[in-house]
């Protein structure tokens, strides 16, 4: 392994993260990657956990209480006020449109992008009228498109909380990201749903590290741990989202995978009750997301006014 020259930066390098067990585990992965690239000692990178607003309210869907900004605003404040040097995020929790003050400088290699079903062997095996807990508009719409008889109920909280709610009988089943379960050393929980049956959320499985755009030293440091294929794929998915003009209320899925010297972007938009779905795909060249933008426009144009109402365009 080639050891890079470490840019001059305040020591220790402070990585901000939410306090949840999964978020801290992901921050530890980012810290480990940085230490490995620069051959640093354990104490050279410090994890700074913070309580995010999204963690404080667990009884309502995220879309009703402020959206994805509730996962990032505390870390953004800490960046601006100099309390941390960089923030570690699940990329699917990062708003598509953010202030120019911040930049996602690196992403770690992407993990499993699939969802896992907890509580049944398959979606088709769920009993008629089964109650499925999720706060994700995407998952709810996709489930209802496959099984209109299902009842969707809101379940929020960290992985342990949601699993405990299923054990307590609050719902028959739920869906969790396979990547999160793997990172919490729970790979045997649940049954993976293939992407052909349920396309994942844009950016699912990707860990991003952001910093202040003006902080050239930290940006240079993080560039050495950036996994370019993941970065390119996720940015194309985010370009698709931005072109839709959707928000946390919008049932939308997108996934870009390597396709020769380009990426195959598969995407779909749905009505909240799953009664309408528009899907398509395109090839995206590295660094050129114009095809992703066109795909978003095509899917919107092909939908009914009721479907388009879930998006701002």
CA–CA dist 118, 158 (Å, integer): 14
Residues 55, 85, 93, 112: which is the catalytic one?
A: 93
**Alpha carbon separation from 199 to 8, 195, 247 (Å, rounded):** 42, 5, 18
Whether residue 288 lies in the annotated active site: no
Active site residues: 93
């Amino acid at each position: 392994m080639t050891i890079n020259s470490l840019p001059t930066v305040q020591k220790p390098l402070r990585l901000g993260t939410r306090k949840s067990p999964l978020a801290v585990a992901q921050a530890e992965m980012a810290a480990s990657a940085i230490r490995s690239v620069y051959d640093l000692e354990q104490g050279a990178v410090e994890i700074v956990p913070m309580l995010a607003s999204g963690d404080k309210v667990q009884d309502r869907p995220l879309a009703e209480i402020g959206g994805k900004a509730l996962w990032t605003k505390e870390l953004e404040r800490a960046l601006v006020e100099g309390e941390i040097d960089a923030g570690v995020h699940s990329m699917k929790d990062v708003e598509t449109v953010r202030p120019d003050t911040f930049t996602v400088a690196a992403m770690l290699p992407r993990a499993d992008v699939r969802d896992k079903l907890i509580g049944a062997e398959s979606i088709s095996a769920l009993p008629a009228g089964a109650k499925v807990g999720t706060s994700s508009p995407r998952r709810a719409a996709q489930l209802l498109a496959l099984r209109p008889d299902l009842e969707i109920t809101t379940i929020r909280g960290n992985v342990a909380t949601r699993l405990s709610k299923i054990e307590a009988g609050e719902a028959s089943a739920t869906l969790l990201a396979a990547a999160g379960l793997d990172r919490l050393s729970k790979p045997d929980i649940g049954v993976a749903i293939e992407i052909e049956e349920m396309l994942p959320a844009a950016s699912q499985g990707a860990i991003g590290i952001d910093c202040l755009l003006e902080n050239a030293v930290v940006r240079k440091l993080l560039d050495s741990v950036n996994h370019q294929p993941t970065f390119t794929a996720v940015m194309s998915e985010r370009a698709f989202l931005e072109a839709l003009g959707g928000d946390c209320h919008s049932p939308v899925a997108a996934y870009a995978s390597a396709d020769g010297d380009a990426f195959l972007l598969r995407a779909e938009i749905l009505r909240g009750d799953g009664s309408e779905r528009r899907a398509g795909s395109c090839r995206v060249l590295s660094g050129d997301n114009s095809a992703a933008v066109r795909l978003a426009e095509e899917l919107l144009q092909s939908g009914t006014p009721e479907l388009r109402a879930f998006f701002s365009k």
